[in-house]
């Protein structure tokens, strides 16, 4: 049995959902055109993951095995809808930018994956730590992809101009192919780094 600290830290690097487990690739590719969007999506996933992990861990002993999937979907969909409504009310510019990808968090593999692989087998404390680690992991990853695409695609980070006026932005990085290119390079770098560090 792993320690509580390991339960948290595994999501950051070792089992990072984006770069190691390769879960939730759809939003990773679609909405990371800027650092802010990546961060916003990451935080939304974080919130839903934390809430759903808690609830699913609490109800894990009451829900019959055969109907656990629909039960999880109900729980996850509820938190996603709450996220959708709250963002729409208080952060409208983010809500507009993320658009259809907010409701699609319902089918995000990270959340369903953690529910099925972790929260339904572990107690609430461990599930919370798992969600915190995975949530921070996915937020960092999406923000990182967003930073790189925004920096080279538009010359800024979080809207602040970094590269100066002489910089010619690589427009392709803001387009869908740019997402694949960025993600591919990052995955390669991470794999190389992990191999060198001897983490498997």
Instruction: Examine residue 70 and tell whether it contacts another protein (CB under 8 A).
Output: yes
Instruction: Examine residue 81 and tell whether it contacts another protein (CB under 8 A).
Output: yes
Helices 35-58, 68-90: inter-axial angle, 10-degree rounding: 140
Q: Which residue in 75, 102, 145, 183 binds another protein (CB under 8 A)?
A: 75
Q: Which stretch binds another protein (CB under 8 A): 83-91, 137-145, 147-155, 190-198?
A: 83-91
Whole-angstrom Cα distance, residue 192 to residue 115?
Answer: 30
Instruction: Examine residue 82 and tell whether it contacts another protein (CB under 8 A).
Output: yes
Report the SS3 class of residue 159.
Answer: coil
Report the SS3 class of residue 180.
Answer: helix
Pair of tokens at residue 61: 């002993």
Cβ-Cβ contacts under 8 Å for 200 (sequence gap 6 or more): 194
Q: Which stretch binds another protein (CB under 8 A): 65-73, 119-127, 150-158, 184-192?
A: 65-73
Residues of this chain, 41-60, that bind another protein according to CB under 8 A = 59
Q: Which residue in 4, 22, 26, 85 binds another protein (CB under 8 A)?
A: 85
The alpha carbon dihedral of 151, 145, 26, 123 has a sign of: negative
CB nearer to another protein: give 64 or 198. Answer: 64
Instruction: Examine residue 71 and tell whether it contacts another protein (CB under 8 A).
Output: yes
CB nearer to another protein: give 81 or 156. Answer: 81
> For another protein, how many residues bind (rule: CB under 8 A)?
23
Cβ atoms 183, 145 nearer than 8 A: yes
Whole-angstrom Cα distance, residue 55 to residue 197?
Answer: 36
What are the residues binding another protein (CB under 8 A)? Answer: 59, 62-67, 70-71, 74-75, 77-78, 81-82, 85-86, 88-90, 92, 99-100
């Amino acid at each position: 049995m792993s320690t509580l600290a390991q339960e948290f830290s595994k999501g950051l690097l070792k089992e990072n959902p984006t770069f190691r487990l390769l879960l939730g690739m759809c939003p990773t590719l679609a909405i990371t055109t800027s650092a802010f969007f990546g961060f916003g999506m990451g935080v939304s996933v974080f919130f839903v993951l934390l809430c759903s992990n808690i609830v699913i861990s609490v109800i894990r002993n009451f829900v019959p095995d055969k109907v656990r999937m629909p039960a999880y979907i109900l729980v996850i969909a509820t938190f996603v809808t709450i996220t959708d409504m709250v963002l729409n009310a208080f952060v409208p510019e983010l809500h507009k930018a993320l658009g259809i990808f907010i409701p699609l968090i319902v089918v995000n593999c990270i959340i369903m994956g953690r529910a099925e692989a972790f929260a339904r087998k572990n107690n609430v404390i461990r599930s919370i730590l798992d969600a915190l680690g995975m949530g921070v992991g996915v937020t960092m990853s999406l923000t990182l992809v967003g930073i790189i695409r925004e920096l080279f695609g538009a010359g800024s980070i979080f809207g602040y101009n970094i590269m100066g006026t002489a910089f010619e932005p690589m427009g392709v990085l803001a387009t869908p192919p740019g997402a694949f290119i960025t993600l591919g390079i990052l995955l390669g770098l991470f794999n190389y780094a992990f191999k060198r560090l001897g983490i498997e």
